[in-house]
Structure 1
């Protein structure tokens, strides 16, 4: 039976699965560009944009080495909080398009004062098994899941 506790703390760690998936999809995109009937120069520009995107995402979502990368999530009586690598913590509101499954959880949070929501991609190896299980239970069954942090 689900028994919610007052707090949930999830510490995120670098994910090998997410890194492998990112590289595989970037390579598949480049192969698709190569196989297409697109002229060489636009195909090269699109391929470079794919690799630029891969290099931009890597420190923020895979290796978690960027100062702005999300290294943890916390839920307590005040709502959701985003913990960053630089030590900062910000309150956030959970978005309705959060995705929860056994292999992949994508938590979408909106921080006050930021234009775009924050996406935290959590494959099965991105945190401890117990903390991911507790997060999935919180996201699926909590009545207070949409509560904003104050």
Structure 2
């Protein structure tokens, strides 16, 4: 696939992830309140779960990323909400079935962009093309081991 075109897409955070996080957090809080632990411990666990849910939601929302793209040569580019274009490298990825693609892009300045592409925030054709490109990267072994494990 030497003539594979570049892949570009606009990005907005997935609503599914936020709803899933809220559901799991609610179940954890309900389980805590239905247990026989003292009420002070229940309050501490509830506050901890809510803080962890909020922190995770903010981490996965990446509201500062407007768009991303993968060039023919495998280089990545991220457009920020401020309008800046930043070169990025693919640190890791995970493909879950045919519906979900997780991308961890390393940006300049030791920042990372964690992008979740799901049916509610991306086109099926974009996800298919990305899966094909990522499978090609994985088969060629160009995703270096020193970049760390997959997401």
TM-score of the aligned structures, taking structure 2 as reference length: 0.72
Structure 1 residues without counterparts, runs of 5 or longer: none
Per the alignment, residue 11 of structure 2 pairs with 12
From the superposition, tell whether residues 38 and 99 of structure 1 become closer, same or farther in structure 2 (CA, over 3 Å): farther
Q: Secondary structure at the match of 1:71?
A: strand
- Structure 1 residue 130 corresponds to structure 2 residue 131: no
Equivalent position of 1:104 in the other structure: 100
In 2, Cα distance between equivalents of 1:100 and 1:79: 19
Q: CA deviation at 1:44?
A: 1.8
Q: 1:120 aligns with which of 103, 112, 115?
A: 115
3-state SS, counterpart of residue 48 of structure 2: helix
**Runs ≥4 in structure 1, deviation > 6 angstroms?**
none
Aligned to 2:149: none
Report the Cα distance in structure 2 between the residues aligned to 1:107 and 1:56, rounded to whole angstroms. Answer: 19
TM-score norm. by structure 1 comes to 0.72
The alignment yields a C-alpha RMSD, in angstroms, of 2.9
Alpha-carbon contact 2:100-2:127 (below 8 Å) kept: no
Aligned length: 140
* Structure ID, larger Rg: 2
Deviation at 1:121, TM superposition (A): 1.6
Alignment of 1:44 onto 2:40: no
